[in-house]
Structures are given as C-alpha cells and as structure tokens.
Structure 1
C-alpha cells in the first residue's frame, strides 16, 4: 500500500505520480460509488498498479520489492523542527526471540507524554513503520502523543504468533522502560490500520488475559478481525483496489501456518468468545472496503460486552483511502485528533 500518507498541503503521493495517458488497470476497478473528491487521486496512481492479490498468492516478497522501488522515487520529507524520530531495539518476548525495532516519534523535551503504540498495515506480509512517517510527523505534535510504531516480524518468514509476540514485547517495554523516551507508562493506548488493526485489537485481548499491562483505548482504522473472509462486504468486493477477497484469503494463508479450528483470537480477534473488560474503542470502517463488515461486527461484539465504542463508517471510502489526498482524508485526520484528545479527559 502507499508508503507516504497524504496529509500535507501538497500531497506527497499526488505530487510524485508521473502523468500517463492510459488509466491504471487496477484504478479502473475503483467502485463507481467512490467519493468524488477522492476518486481523482486514485486515477493513474502507480501504487494501485501493484497487483497485491496476485502477488500474495504467487510471490508475496515481490510486493515489498515493488513498494520499495516506488518509495525510493519519492522525495524524503524531513521531520519538523522539535520532533525527535529515532529507532530503538528492544528485547523480544522470549530469550530466543529476535530484538524488536520500535520507531519513536516524540516532541523534544516532552516528559510524561501519552503514548500511541501503533501497528502498520500490510496484510501481515509487507509494510514497515516508515510508511507512516509523514502522518506521524504531523500527528505526534498535533496530538501531544508520543507515537511508538512497531516493526513487527512479517509472514511468510515469521507467521503467527511472531507479530503479536513482538507487539506484547513492545507493550512490556513501554511499561517498564518508557521513561527512557519520556512517556507516561500509565497512559498507553494502541492503534493500527488494516492488519495492524488486528494486531492492536489482539494485543488488548492478550493484555487482558495476562492481567496487564493496562491499555486504555484502541484506535482502529478498517481493522482486520476475521480470518474466515465470509462477511457480505468481503464477498462483495472481489476486485477492488489495494485489497480484495482473494488478497485477504492469501494473506491469512501466509499468516496462519496452523489452519485447524478454532483459530486463536490473538490472530483473528472475532474468534474470541469473551469481549468483556477490553478498552474502549474508536473504529473506522470504509463503505467500499471488503473489511467493512468485520470491523462493524467487532464493534458490535464490544458493545454487546459493555465496552464503549464509537463506530464511524465513511461513505464513498475505499480501503486505505486516508493515504490519498482528499478532503475526506483531511476530515478523518481531524477525527483522529479529536478522539486522541478525549481519551484521557476523565483520568
């Protein structure tokens, strides 16, 4: 998926797309109900030319190569003055686990700040923390949070439970060593988009089951929550941009080496039987996203268990719409700031 979110005045994605005479083949499949202001950003966009579904089935590592090529063609956006961006290596969860890289975005001199522990998207197979640099260059100072993005291990080299173990290791490190980066270990929330949303959500279940550390909130953008890929929206959007039914099926096949039932809720959050005593949540789903209905169902499960939830379904939005320039993307950015500012008001 696109490496550079587009929340600056001049979109990085839009500014770097070379003009072409023929419309992208993948872009031609953009649903006709797509938001009219978003649609122009999707036309002739080289990121949409990556055949994600095809490569997930045949050569998943090629996705990383193609994304790296496109990312290398984009100009480097410097971090704003006053924002410290650093990489930290922390111990893995087990003695035999490799170290986990954390990418930290924090205001210089900030102390006891709230922290967003974040998981990038990429179908459990591709992606990295750097793909959200431009977003967090803005979000960290605007929100007052320190953002800690986890470079979790990826499938197929490291299938489940490697990624969630890396996430739990990060949570433990923030709780016991967070003062090293100026955060308040009592004010941790989790967030993520797409497959990263699955990891953030699963981490809340793991932390509850293990009696800590405490997570106060979950901020989820179009989260993956169901390995079965059987929802009405998943079966409807079988040829949609970026993500569709076949891509989802292939990513789960790569992520889960053991496909026997039941599937662990730490992999597929909707497989859980208990949704009580989880943190409150903000969940965003996209109308034209195959993941739409499983995000909505997860919100319903939380509500039925007595967990406070705000659910937003954005009309005319496709999967990862918010990395493309449009007023719709800007509105969602403001929504995230509003949600982040409200999390600790009562504490």
Structure 2
C-alpha cells in the first residue's frame, strides 16, 4: 500500500487520533461529527440552494436539499443519497459534493436526508430513498428539471440505496431512471472477499466497522441475503439503466464493486468501472482532505450523465 496518496495518508493519520466509531454508540459519533467544521473551499455560484421537507409513505417528512444551476433549463435531475453506513451522514456531509455536481453536470441535484439506522432500520431508509425519487419526479417541473431525465447517485451505503432504487422503480412501474452513479457502493453484505481481507483496517472503512453498520441497519442478519440489501444477489439486471461505478483502490468494498460491474456488463447494461488510484473509502465526503479527488470524481460523473 505504498501507493496511497498523501491525502489518504493524512486522513488515516487524522482519524487514528480518535476512538474507532464502531466502539461507540451512533448518537455519540453523530454528535462528534456535527461539531466538525465544514471544509473551506471555493464553490461555484448556483442559481438556488433550497432546503425543504417532503412527505414519505408513513406520514412523516424528511429533509431534502435542492441545488439548481444557472441557466434556462429544464435540467437533468440527479437524486443523491449520502454515505455513512445507513447510520451516519446528512445533508451537510454531502453538501460540497452535491454543490459541485449541480454546477459541473448542469443538473438539478436533490440530496436526500433519509432516516438513519438503528432508529430507523431497513427498509425505512430505502423507502425514504424511493419516496424521494417519486417526489422529485412529481415536482420536476417546479424544480426546473426534466422528469424524463432522472439519474440516481450515491456513495457507499448511498450507492447501495441508489442501485436498489433502480430495481424498485422497474418492479413498481415507477419513474424511468436514465443512469445510476455508484461511488464505492455496498453491493453484497457477505463480507468475505479478498479486498475485505487485504484492506480490513485503517483504510477509511474497517471490516469491523462494516459489520457494525450492517448489524445496525438490518433487523436480522438473515436480511443480508435479501437482494434489496445486497443487490449483487438480484437475479435479473438486464433492465437497469447505464451505470458508472467509481472505486477507491484501497477499499474493503472494492471486489464487490467489480463483481457488480461485471454482472451488469454480462446483462448487457452499459457499465463503466473506474478506479481512483491511491484512494480510500469515504474520500468523496471528506472534502477537507480530498478536494482535488472529489473534483475529479464530480467531473467523471458529469461527463457520464451528459453522455
């Protein structure tokens, strides 16, 4: 692992100063992360950035943040689901990446603050994710967006939600999704791959941390076998939209991303698998360490969405 970037090494050194999150309670870690300052970077001007609440199926509301670019529109729409193992993350942790994406892709980005485990276990985060897609489709014109050009995207657990949403949309005759963008996604909760062995500790996502996340997310470990938790287990991928899978080179999730890309390609789905060399899991939401890498990733996504 001598090929780790300097940014990766700096991030690892910084995180090693604190207790491992999986030795703490979720509320403790969320509180500590809420105190971290937002990265100080120059972001391009957008026409609007709007926070609002939207209804979901159980009668509650969740928050979304809408990024509207400059220009006439109607714009493509990207529904974005943040990472954090279904336990952490919020609109703030995804803010810089979504802001850049709206400007670079010239798209309306809807960042979804789905409810978190363990307070809201599977399938509530997934239901929130799909309900946000339905809401964006219904209100696309109000957002100056194109209801016929909707993509889904997400990092880590958010990538998991994004691709499972594409399955649900087809199964339930929901909105047509034109593309899926999955940044180091969770696709299989088996956790026995070679990358889980090689990159198990101190590389952004520990194996023990992934076990901790999974146990908080599901109601019973048998749910790992559900294809709505482990989308690699889906029988039929032929009807899915084109996919961009972005991998961090040193990541426990690397192999399952490769496996998902291979299955999509074998099913005839146009799929691009891109490896970010020297990087580790979670880089996309850590702009204070990985600003240039995040910008490169946003450019990859923008080019893919526009293709």
TM-score, length-scaled by structure 2? 0.91
* The one of 40, 44, 52 aligned to 2:21: 52
* The one of 194, 202, 219 aligned to 2:164: 202
* The one of 116, 123, 127 aligned to 1:165: 127
Aligned partner of 1:244 in structure 2 is 206
Aligned partner of 2:276 in structure 1 is 314
TM-score, length-scaled by structure 1? 0.81
Q: Is the 8 A contact 1:194 1:224 kept in 2?
A: yes
Structure with larger Rg: 1
Aligned partner of 2:267 in structure 1 is 305
Q: Is the 8 A contact 1:201 1:269 kept in 2?
A: yes
Q: Note closer, same or farther for the CA distance 1:76–1:42 as it changes in structure 2 (3 Å cut).
A: closer
* The one of 35, 52, 67 aligned to 1:69: 35
* The one of 75, 79, 83 aligned to 2:47: 83
1:142 aligns with 2:72: no
Q: Output the CA distance in 1 between the equivalents of 2:291 and 2:55.
A: 40
- The 5 Å alignment of 1:257-276 reads 257-260=219-222, 263-276=225-238
State the Cα distance separating 1:195 from its structure 2 match.
Answer: 0.5
Q: Note closer, same or farther for the CA distance 1:178–1:237 as it changes in structure 2 (3 Å cut).
A: same
State the Cα distance separating 1:155 from its structure 2 match.
Answer: 0.2
> Residue 64 of structure 2: SS of its match in structure 1?
strand
Aligned partner of 1:189 in structure 2 is 151
Aligned partner of 1:126 in structure 2 is 88
Aligned partner of 1:225 in structure 2 is 187
Q: Output the CA distance in 2 between the equivalents of 1:326 and 1:76.
A: 10
Aligned partner of 2:137 in structure 1 is 175
Q: Note closer, same or farther for the CA distance 1:261–1:100 as it changes in structure 2 (3 Å cut).
A: closer
Q: Output the CA distance in 2 between the equivalents of 1:325 and 1:315.
A: 13
Aligned partner of 1:296 in structure 2 is 258
**Relative to structure 2, which stretch is displaced further, 152-161 or 220-229?**
220-229
1:281 aligns with 2:247: no
Q: Output the CA distance in 2 between the equivalents of 1:325 and 1:268.
A: 28
Q: Note closer, same or farther for the CA distance 1:209–1:250 as it changes in structure 2 (3 Å cut).
A: same
Q: Note closer, same or farther for the CA distance 1:332–1:76 as it changes in structure 2 (3 Å cut).
A: closer
Q: Is the 8 A contact 2:64 2:112 kept in 1?
A: yes
State the Cα distance separating 1:77 from its structure 2 match.
Answer: 6.7
**Relative to structure 2, which stretch is displaced further, 270-279 or 160-169?**
270-279
Aligned residues: 304
State the Cα distance separating 1:252 from its structure 2 match.
Answer: 0.8
> Residue 260 of structure 1: SS of its match in structure 2?
helix
Aligned partner of 2:11 in structure 1 is 42
State the Cα distance separating 1:181 from its structure 2 match.
Answer: 1.3
Structure with the largest fraction of strand: 2
> Residue 274 of structure 1: SS of its match in structure 2?
coil
Aligned partner of 1:336 in structure 2 is 301
**Relative to structure 2, which stretch is displaced further, 79-88 or 217-226?**
79-88
Q: CA RMSD in A?
A: 2.2
In structure 1, the gaps of 5 or more residues are 1-30, 343-347
State the Cα distance separating 1:175 from its structure 2 match.
Answer: 1.6
Q: CA deviation digits over 1:281-312, x for unaligned, max 9?
A: 00011121001011111111111111110001
Q: Output the CA distance in 2 between the equivalents of 1:225 and 1:135.
A: 22
State the Cα distance separating 1:276 from its structure 2 match.
Answer: 1.5
